[in-house]
Amino acid sequence: MKACPLGINIPGFIRYLREGSVNEAYSKIRESNCLASICGRICSAPCEKACILNKENAPINIRALERFAGDFGKDKVTRLPISKDSKKIAIIGSGPCGLYSAWALIKKGYRVTVFESLEKPGGVLRYGVPEFRIPKRVLDSDINDIKIEGLEIVPNCFFGQTLSFDDLLQNDFKAILIATGAAIPKYLDIPGVNLAGVYYGEEFLMRVNLMKSNIFSRQIPTFPLGNKIAIIGSGNTALDCARASVRLGREVTLIFRRSEDEMRVKTIERDYAKEEGIKFEPLTRPIEVLASNKNFVKGLKCVRLDYTEQDESGKWQLEEVPDSQFTIEADTIVVAVGHRPNSNIQKFYPSIELDEDGSIMVDADTGMTSLNGVFAAGNVVTNAQPLIRTLGAGKDIADKIDNYLKAQKK
Amino acid sequence: MFEIVNRQILSEGIKRIDVQAKDIARKAKPGQFVAVCPEEGDEKIPLTIVDTDTSRGTISFIFHEKGQTTGKLGSLPINESIYSIVGPLGSPARIEKKGNVICIATGVGIAQILPIARAYSKEGSKVIGIIGAKSKRKLMLESQMRICCNKIFVATEDGSYERKGLATDIFKKIINEQEVNLVYAIGSVEMMEAVCSVTKEKKIKTFVQLNPVMVDCMGMCGSCRVKVGGEMKHACIEGPEFDGHKVDFKEFKMRTQALEELDECHSHKLQPNPQKKESGPLAKYLWGFLKD
């Protein structure tokens, strides 16, 4: 239970499940997590690593239990008692961190408004994770529950352009939380990445998600997509891209630098991917994207790598194997080699200070940025953390904003 | 929410739509654009805000019915609502008083240059407009441009209206005759490239507006990446206006044209065009004999 950043009462809800009362189990989870069925699907499950049964045999599959409780349990959701005179808080971004902190704040009795730039709330959960991992139906019902409890969501509002800090201050917002996440792709620097037919992971997933995705295997893709797709990267985004394109009926090769055991995904997901027929090319580095005569992608020139020696920190060094160049035939390439924080907001408000890697600098104790009353949390601060950590950050920042506003009152 | 107030057909395949959008109308500045999604589940189309009316709270945009989504947008009737419009996006155009300004545009680019030409003439600069199109039927917004420009030149490629030739030909002539302080070019990539190569020699400051493919229009996907001055930039956040001399047109052309070509293939596949059947190779061969 300590391992969970949200502090879900894990033994408690499992006890209810054992007794067969799913609804009670769900309300137990919902005491501390409003996105139960989503966490039950894509959480990285630090609780399973900390499970005491690890020593004996295998841990309890807490994630699956949570998913079961989230999907089948029903909880009475009622409007929370929020008085009309309570302070107003604006949250920018309706991703996991934004939603969670909004939920935590309405539970504390504040009036919270979430501003989302796209047409529907959910952020990365809706546009960055494919349908087969989080069905939109589940996401909609979870967000709807939070809405019933009293959260206001304003879609189609691009903060900095449609709306500014001044507008918010005029409307009596006492605190502003920036939770824009980290969804800007890191660029790959090899010749030919600007050819047509090279996508970045986020772009690819967004395009797939924007197509009517519940029937997408039958839909004609609205963007040029070849039959052989090569995907560069080994993270969750890369694997999502690969599995989404398998579902579009394409031939997929996954290219990554490290070995299969070093992939930053859960083993079970890797096995699913293998089962679905994705070809793995471990220990491979792409050198060049080859162009066809029409400026489209024709193939990908790669080189094999091998482990040579350990450096001081114990990390194995990789080096190219001589004369091991080979070409992978592909007509679409998806690059998913990492994210950068989405700190575009700084372009409109230059007084917000950034770190070297582009994340927003915050005070460790108060969670405040260099502007007074403006907070930041989630991946825009910490960059590329798993879902559960960003939810944890949302929980922390809710407490910090609460403290700040209480101190202001005096 | 975003109700269509007015709809107009300007020329062949080009439509203008006025939409109720209070917040956007209040904030929009010349050179900015909106991302329009006509129905749920469609892709987003970046469209330049041509005109705003703050008292009525409407914005208007002009688009060419090229693909599936723009076709859908064009078929929406008055009083229907558009699913989502986000904006204003992009950085506004840098507008200051600058003696003689040439605004050159071709095709749909004329819609994009109109607010900029208006803003420049409002600031007090002398605006020379050059607009071009393939034929008279495809030329649009000519009267509006005439109102806001001090001088205007019109070129059509087939000579069906005013001067025959390309807009760049007129541009080259004018720039040799007159003293020009600033050039603003919007249109096809070839035109912008040609304009920039001329002004680079003369060291005249040139702005261009690029319209690469965009997906979310908010600087998240990296689909609209453009190489400007050796740096990768997002056209949706840092653009669409760029310093014309720094843009890597070769790479930009490569990306946009390849995608356009494929788009054409797709649309042909989806809607088979019942065109006149041309005579087959055998008939042509035999016809050759008969001629001799």
pLDDT 10s digits, A346-357: 777 887 788 777
Strand A284-291 and strand A297-310: pairing?
antiparallel
- Nearest C-alpha in A relative to B214: A203
| Residue B266 in this model has a pLDDT that exceeds 70 | no
Residue A386 tokens read as 């798993």
Residue A290 tokens read as 């080859």
Amino acid residing at A64? A
Average pLDDT value over all residues in chain B: 80
B279 lies in some domain: no
Any A CB within 8 A of B174 CB: no
Alpha-carbon distance A333 to nearest alpha carbon in chain B (angstroms): 13
Asked, colleague to colleague, whether A88-183+340-409 and A187-337 share their fold, the answer is yes
- Select, from the ranges A205-209, B20-24, B231-235, the one with the highest average predicted confidence (pLDDT): B20-24
Mean pLDDT of B8-29: 86
pLDDT of the residue at A211: 65
- The Cα B101–Cα A84 span in angstroms is 54
Contact B261 A222 (CB under 8 A): no
Any A CB within 8 A of B283 CB: no
Q: What is the DSSP string of A255-275?
A: E-SS-GGG-SS-HHHHHHHHH
Q: Do residue B104 and residue B185 come from a single domain?
A: yes
Alpha-helical (H) ranges within B41-166 are 68-75, 109-123, 142-148
B14 lies in some domain: yes
The residues spanned by each domain of chain A are 10-72, 88-183+340-409, 187-337
Q: Do residue B183 and residue B219 come from a single domain?
A: no
| Residue B282 in this model has a pLDDT that exceeds 70 | no
Any A CB within 8 A of B271 CB: no
Q: Is B163 exposed, middle or buried (0-12, 13-18, 19+ CB in 10 A)?
A: middle
- The Cα A345–Cα A82 span in angstroms is 30
Q: Could you give phi then psi for residue B168, rounded to 5 degrees?
A: -70, -30
Last residue in a domain, options B68, B89, B110: B89
Say what percent of chain A tops pLDDT 70. 96
Alpha-helical (H) ranges within B76-166 are 109-123, 142-148
- The Cα A175–Cα B184 span in angstroms is 42
Average pLDDT value over all residues in chain A: 83
pLDDT band at B269 (very low <50, low <70, confident <90, very high): very low
- The Cα A66–Cα A98 span in angstroms is 21
| Residue A323 in this model has a pLDDT that exceeds 70 | yes
pLDDT in tens, B191-240: 888 888 888 888 888 888 888 777 777 777 777 778 887 777 777 778 78
- Check if the beta carbon of residue A140 is closer than 8 Å to that of residue A117: no
Mean pLDDT of A195-201: 81
Mean pLDDT of A244-272: 83
- The Cα B181–Cα B204 span in angstroms is 6
Q: Do residue B101 and residue B174 come from a single domain?
A: yes
| Residue B271 in this model has a pLDDT that exceeds 70 | no
Residue A332 tokens read as 């679409």
Min mean pLDDT across A272-276, A326-330, B167-171, B234-238 is at B234-238
Total domain count, chain B: 3
Cα angle: A176, vertex A179, A182; to 5 degrees: 155
Q: Do residue B114 and residue B194 come from a single domain?
A: yes
ipTM score for this prediction: 0.76
Q: Do residue B14 and residue B74 come from a single domain?
A: yes
| Residue A215 in this model has a pLDDT that exceeds 60 | no
B106 lies in some domain: yes
Contact B254 A224 (CB under 8 A): no
Any A CB within 8 A of B41 CB: yes
User: Is the dihedral angle over the CA atoms A150, A154, A160, A164 positive or is it negative?
Assistant: negative
Contact A118 B85 (CB under 8 A): no
pLDDT of the residue at A327: 87
Pick from B227, B235, B181: nearest CA to B210: B235
B164 lies in some domain: yes
Min mean pLDDT across A11-15, A19-23, A295-299, B107-111 is at A295-299
Contact B215 A207 (CB under 8 A): yes
- The Cα A59–Cα A266 span in angstroms is 14
| Residue B274 in this model has a pLDDT that exceeds 60 | no
The answer for residues whose C-beta is within 8 angstroms of residue B74's C-beta and 6 or more apart is B15, B63, B65
pLDDT in tens, B56-105: 889 998 888 877 788 888 888 888 888 888 878 888 888 888 888 888 88
A224 vs B contacts (CB less than 8 Å): 259, 262-263, 266
Residue A51 tokens read as 């499970």
Min mean pLDDT across A352-361, B238-247, B272-281 is at B272-281
Of the options 3.90.1300.10, 3.30.360.10, 3.50.50.60, 3.40.50.10860, the CATH number for the domain spanning A88-183+340-409: 3.50.50.60
Q: In whole angstroms, what separates CA A352 from the centre of its chain?
A: 24
- Check if the beta carbon of residue A285 is closer than 8 Å to that of residue A305: yes
Contact A118 B86 (CB under 8 A): yes
pLDDT band at B270 (very low <50, low <70, confident <90, very high): very low
Instruction: CATH number of the domain at B136, please.
Output: 3.40.50.80
pLDDT of the residue at B120: 87
Q: Do residue B167 and residue B227 come from a single domain?
A: no
- The Cα A136–Cα A363 span in angstroms is 36
Contact B223 A200 (CB under 8 A): yes
pLDDT band at B260 (very low <50, low <70, confident <90, very high): low
Domain enclosing residue B79, as ranges? 2-89
Contact B88 A161 (CB under 8 A): yes
3-state secondary structure A287-310: EEEEECCCCEEEEEEEEEEEEEEE
- The Cα A129–Cα A144 span in angstroms is 19
- Nearest C-alpha in B relative to A120: B84
Q: Do residue B197 and residue B147 come from a single domain?
A: yes
Say what percent of chain A tops pLDDT 90. 1
The answer for residues whose C-beta is within 8 angstroms of residue A103's C-beta and 6 or more apart is A34, A146, A149, A151
Q: Do residue B105 and residue B144 come from a single domain?
A: yes
Q: Do residue B35 and residue B79 come from a single domain?
A: yes
Last residue in a domain, options B89, B104, B128: B89
pLDDT of the residue at B263: 59
> With a CB-CB cutoff of 8 Å, which residues 153-172 of chain B face chain A?
none
Contact A162 B222 (CB under 8 A): no
Mean pLDDT of B151-172: 84
Pick from B95, B103, B115: nearest CA to B50: B115
Choosing among B26, B72, B221, which should be mutated to test the A contact, i.e. which has the most A CBs within 10 A?
B221
B145 lies in some domain: yes
Mean pLDDT of B159-174: 82
- The Cα A173–Cα A408 span in angstroms is 13
pLDDT in tens, A150-163: 888 888 888 878 88
Any B CB within 8 A of A58 CB: no
Last residue in a domain, options B192, B208, B224: B208
Other beta carbons within 10 angstroms of residue A271's beta carbon come to 10
- The Cα A226–Cα A248 span in angstroms is 11
- The Cα B14–Cα A159 span in angstroms is 31
- Check if the beta carbon of residue A185 is closer than 8 Å to that of residue A202: yes
CATH class of A187-337: alpha beta
- The Cα A70–Cα A65 span in angstroms is 8
Q: Which of B37, B86, B215 sits opposite A206 (nearest CB)?
A: B215
Q: Do residue B110 and residue B191 come from a single domain?
A: yes
B280 lies in some domain: no
The answer for residues whose C-beta is within 8 angstroms of residue A371's C-beta and 6 or more apart is A349, A351, A352
Q: Do residue B43 and residue B101 come from a single domain?
A: no
> With a CB-CB cutoff of 8 Å, which residues 202-221 of chain B face chain A?
215-216, 218-221
- The Cα A42–Cα A31 span in angstroms is 20
pLDDT in tens, B111-140: 888 888 888 888 888 888 888 888 888 888
- The Cα A310–Cα A197 span in angstroms is 37
A194 vs B contacts (CB less than 8 Å): 225, 227, 251, 254-255
Any A CB within 8 A of B22 CB: no
Q: Do residue B111 and residue B99 come from a single domain?
A: yes
Say what percent of chain B tops pLDDT 70. 87
More confident: B111 or B258: B111
